[in-house]
Each structure stands twice: as C-alpha cells, then as structure tokens.
Amino acid sequence: EVQLQESGPGLVKPSQSLSLTCSVTGYSITSNYWGWIRKFPGNKMEWMGYISYSGSTSYNPSLKSRISITRDTSKNQFFLQLNSVTTEDTATYYCARQWPMYTTDYFDYWGQGVMVTVSS
C-alpha cells in the first residue's frame, strides 16, 4: 500500500526557512509526479509545486524564488524548502502523489499533513 508521511518542525520563526520531508513507502518516487499542497486556516488550498520521476521541478509562481523541492531517491523521500517565511505561510502542508504514472493528472494518495505555524 502506498503511504506518504510528512515530517518537520511545527513552528518556524519569521524570515527563517521551512523544511519538510515527505517519506514514501510502498511505491518508488522515481515513478510519477510528487507534489506539495498547503491548506491555510479558513480552508483555502494552494498547490505549491512538484518534483517529477526524473527530478525535474515545477513551482507555483506565487511562491516566486522562495521554494525548492528536492529528493533523495535512496531514501525514497522528497523535500520542501520554503525560504523567508512570514505569518502568511502558516498552514497545514500535505505531500501527495499524482496519478497516472508520468502524468500531471490528479492527486490520488496524500499524506496526513503537518501543521506549520510561523511565529516569533
């Protein structure tokens, strides 16, 4: 069974970097596209970006140059780094798999989410 699990600090100070890990079991991240999505307080959802089976990336322009998604295929993990965070980055962060293979279609499996608060 495919499982995704986010991990990382729940509290980050303003202007610092937010770093999260998505650990995937039951499926290789060298197949499919793998994305990060966040949900703000009040229900708004935002797609942040993805890393592909080949390691290429695509990001939401709203995040400009603050975002980076990388991976470690040996550990079957991919990572989110968001720089220069502000209180507006307070959200629950999800990682998810896109299906079918090699397409940017729909997200089928999601992690349980990790809540990150940006506060001094």
Partner 1 sequence: DVLMTQTPVSLPVSLGGQVSISCRSSQSLVHSDGNTYLHWYLQKPGQSPQLLIYRVSNRFSGVPDRFSGSGSGTDFTLKISRVEPEDLGVYYCLQSTHFPYTFGAGTKLELK
Residue ranges in contact with partner 1 by CB under 8 A: 39, 43-47, 58, 60-62, 94, 98, 104-108, 110-113
CB nearer partner 1, residue 58 or residue 76: 58
Give least dist CB 13 to partner 1, A: 27
Return d(Cα 74, Cα 63) in angstroms, integer: 28
Question: 82 φ, ψ to 5°?
Answer: -125, 120
CB nearer partner 1, residue 46 or residue 72: 46
Give least dist CB 61 to partner 1, A: 6
- Cα–Cα–Cα angle for 88, 64, 29, rounded to 5 degrees: 95
Asked if 116 and 12 count as a contact pair (C-beta separation under 8 A), the reply is: yes
Region class of 59: left (phi > 0), else alpha (psi between -120 and 50), else beta = beta
CB nearer partner 1, residue 76 or residue 92: 92
Give least dist CB 74 to partner 1, A: 26
CB nearer partner 1, residue 16 or residue 39: 39
User: How distant, in Å, are the alpha carbons of 89, 92, 97, 103 from that of 45?
Assistant: 12, 9, 16, 21
